[in-house]
Structure 1
Amino acid sequence: MPTKPTRASDALRAAQMYYLQAQTMDAIARELRTSRSTVSRLLSAARDSGLVQIQVKTPSDRAPELERAIHKRYRVDVHVVPVADTLNEVEVLDRVSMQAARTIGPLVDSNAVIGVAWGSTLSTVSRHLTRKTTHGTVIVQLNGAGNTQTSGIAYASEIIRRFGTAYGATVEQFPVPAFFDKAETKRMMWQERSVRRILDLQDRMTIAIFGVGSIDADLPSHVYSGGYLDATDIAALEAGGVAGDVATVFFRSDGSDAGIVLNDRSSGPSLAKLRQVRRRICIISGAKKIRGLRGALAAGLATDLILDESTARILVEQESPSADPIFGLLNSLEGL
């Protein structure tokens, strides 16, 4: 007995006929035995879910060259989001987050364990997620969110909840502080069975999704602006040459993290643990995060990178032009 087509399979079939076979919506409606309006909705669903991604190419579009240059240098899959120089930081973040949400959707499968960090970037991404039905998928919070001023539960749980709702997934929060007062307290807490259950889930992650925190960003990362660090902590990070963090774990521009004492108190996964996750999606918006981005890439934390065009351009242009012939091509494009 033939299986009844699902809406997702109908959307894929309609998209293939419309975009790859150049069929009209009327022709698609006849073949699918439905109405033209339904075909229009199926095509919209295909675009919203990420099955179809439309790019408008112009002679001055540098995104493909930037993507190739970054991929060659850092061996990551890259999505550069074209943005106008006239947009402010909030608008750029929104554009990047929209692209990130559409990129993440097709990567989410059933029976996945997806680790999600909290922060300004992921908060915005979570608002653009489109629904996709999965089974047996779990969304697990990557790091605690409590501090001396707030439990952090309302902020972090809302982000995690949106991911769970979008993918019909079970949600697992991590109700511990972002930073413990003492490293010994963390070691003892990590032995508790209720905490070990979350840590074991993190060990099984198939996808990790995160931004990069930076104290220098025009839109300060939540970890730096939300009362998580005091003046002594900030001074210690600056003295240690820290460039940024992922899930409240800090690193330097060269990707190293040895000797950063605050990491011993952090509830986030170690860089070594994060590198063990098969797919690691890093989302960046804002050129002021360039030091943190370079550190994250040097540390090998990302397999996939989604970032705005301005930041991508700076990342490429800070490399030595002689290191790769593609950089010469990029520079020559400026004069076109």
Structure 2
Amino acid sequence: MDKDEKKLELAARAAWMYYVTGQTQQDIAQVLGVSRQVAQRLVSLAREQGMVKVHITHPVDRCLKLAEQMQEKFGLALCRVVPSMGLDDEKVEQMIALDSAEVISLFVSDEKPLTVAVGSGRMLRAAINELPYLERPQHSCVSLIGAIARDGSCTRYDVPLWMAEKTQGKYFILPAPLFADSAEDRYQWCNHRIYHAVAEKAQRADVTFIGIGQIERGCPLNVDGFITDKQVDRLKEQRTVAEMLGHFIGEDGQRVSSELDETLTSIPLKPRTDRKIIAFAGGRHKYSAVRAVLIGQWISGLVTDEETACRLLADDSLLPVASQS
């Protein structure tokens, strides 16, 4: 990389920090190891070079290379890596949300009718928040997870509805709570005609967007009352580190069976599928969860951060997908 390209890459990194996470020029100077005046000039250069519009158009070269290596090692069809050097998890999540919105836009901007399956989670909702409003009434948004609370109201987990509002497309709700009251109750929910129709549509979706949750006390499922402290502890005893749509995954990448399975109503997930499933996750607290999902080959695409990517690529215990087959 020549001197000019290195300068542009620094300008791109400074622009991410300044415009996306709200870092001050002094903060940027400390992270990049330059003076405040140089940091100011880098931010100005990013504007002058046309990098800064609604999103930052000049990627960080190191992140591009990490994304390519991630695709090769884990057999991903798509990977995006955002800068995260020197940033805390909250700011990293802002970065991922912004880039995830761009990935979503690549699909939903298409004029031809599209069926988009949407999961749940704070990162996924943050990504959709960054998505511009689009006139795509021909698209359909399908829920992968029940968003009905026990009192009949819809919950914050109804992320697909927000996606449908952004695209102005048709919305298909999965008519069930995330966890039913009992196995018998689950049978009633999951054998309804409408449930079957929506589930079939979700399984045939053109693309699926999903979040990856970590399993620990204080994780979203625990804080929001879906699983108890004792259930978290039992899952941890089984070496569970990740969760997608209420499906639990161990550190070895395999599905973990638990007492919660008999009441779970969300759409089934299968590893090594041909479906286009793109996940959005990163930050230090999500590393073990992302690692497990990649080991198990549960997804075909990922938007994450550079620190997470570096750790995954440096982990010699993780063999490339081609070596596992």
Alignment pair present for 1:134 and 2:136? yes
**1:277 Cα deviation after fit:** 6.0
1:29 maps to: none
Find the aligned partners of 1:312 and 1:147 in 2 and give their Cα distance: 36
Identity %: 19
CA-based RMSD: 2.7
1:98 aligns to 2:98 (yes or no): yes
Change (3 A) 1:184 1:277: farther
Which residue matches 2:253?
255
Bigger radius of gyration: 1
2:275 pairs with 1:278: yes
Aligned-partner residue type, residue 85 of structure 2: A
Does the 8 Å contact 2:276/2:300 carry over to 1? yes
* Rounded Cα–Cα distance in structure 1 between residues aligned with 2:53 and 2:162: 20
Deviation at 1:127, TM superposition (A): 0.8
1:128 counterpart letter in structure 2: E
Q: Hey, what does 1:82 align to over in structure 2?
A: 83
Preserved CA contact (<8 Å) 2:147 2:155? no
1:47 deviates by 6.1
Give 1:286 deviation, angstroms: 1.1
CA contact (8 A) 2:164 2:171 kept: yes
2:154 is matched with which residue? 153
Shift of 1:263: 2.8
Task: Tell me how far 1:276 sits from its aligned partner.
Answer: 4.5
| Residue in structure 1 matched with residue 238 of structure 2 by the alignment | 240
Cα 1:198–1:277 shift into 2, 3 Å: farther
Cα gap change, 1:189 to 1:216, in 2 (>3 Å): closer
Q: Distance in 2 between matches of 1:295 and 1:271?
A: 14
Q: Cα offset for 1:101?
A: 0.2
**Partner Cα distance (1:47, 1:138) in 2:** 29
Q: How does 1:212-231 map to 2 (within 5 A)?
A: 212-216=212-216, 221-231=219-229
Residue 300 of structure 1, aligned match among 275, 297, 300 = 297
Partner of 1:268: helix, strand, or coil?
A: coil
Q: 1:227 deviation in Å?
A: 0.7
Q: Which residue of 2 aligns with 1:207?
A: 207
Range moving further from structure 2, 312-321 or 234-243: 312-321
Deviations 1:312-336 (A, max 9, x none): 1121222359x68xxxxxxxxxxxx
Checking the alignment, whether the CA contact within 8 Å between 2:101 and 2:131 is kept in structure 1 is yes
Structure 1 residues 231 and 120: CA distance shift in structure 2, 3 A:
same
Q: Distance in 2 between matches of 1:275 and 1:130?
A: 32
Conservation of the 8 A alpha-carbon contact between 2:248 and 2:256: no
Per the normalisation by structure 2, the TM-score is 0.73
Instruction: Return the offset for 1:282.
Output: 0.5
Corresponding residue for residue 334 of structure 1: none
Q: Deviations along 1:247-275, whole A, 9 cap, x unmatched? A: 11111122211533423322222222x76
Q: Which aligned pairs between 1:294-333 and structure 2 lie closer than 5 A? A: 294-320=291-317
Summarize the Cα distance change of 1:224–1:152 in structure 2 as closer, same or farther, 3 Å threshold.
Answer: farther
**Retained in 2: the 8 A contact 1:213–1:244?**
yes
Q: Secondary structure at the match of 1:166?
A: helix
Q: Distance in 1 between matches of 2:153 and 2:219?
A: 14
Q: Matches of 1:47 and 1:279 in 2, distance apart?
A: 29
**Residue in structure 1 matched with residue 11 of structure 2 by the alignment:** none
Q: Kindly provide the amino acid, as one letter, of the partner of residue 291 in structure 2.
A: R
Query: Any idea what the Cα deviations from partners look like across 1:214-246, whole Å, max 9, x if unmatched?
Result: 0349xx542232111012321221122211111
Pick which of 163-172 and 93-102 moved more: 163-172
Rounded Cα–Cα distance in structure 1 between residues aligned with 2:73 and 2:272? 18
Local SS of the residue matching 1:115? strand
**How many residue pairs get matched?**
267
Partner in structure 1 of residue 117 of structure 2 = 115
Match of 1:40 in 2: none
Report the secondary structure of 2:213's partner residue: coil
CA drift of 1:288 comes to 1.6
CA distance in 1, matches of 2:245, 2:296: 14
Q: Structure 2 counterpart of 1:101, which letter?
A: A
Q: Distance in 2 between matches of 1:211 and 1:173?
A: 18
User: Unpaired runs of 5+ in structure 2?
Assistant: 1-49, 321-325
Shift of 1:133: 2.9
Question: 1:171 Cα deviation (Å)?
Answer: 1.4
Match status 1:54 vs 2:54? no
Unaligned runs of 5+ in 1: 1-43, 325-336
Query: SS state of the match for residue 153, structure 1?
Result: coil
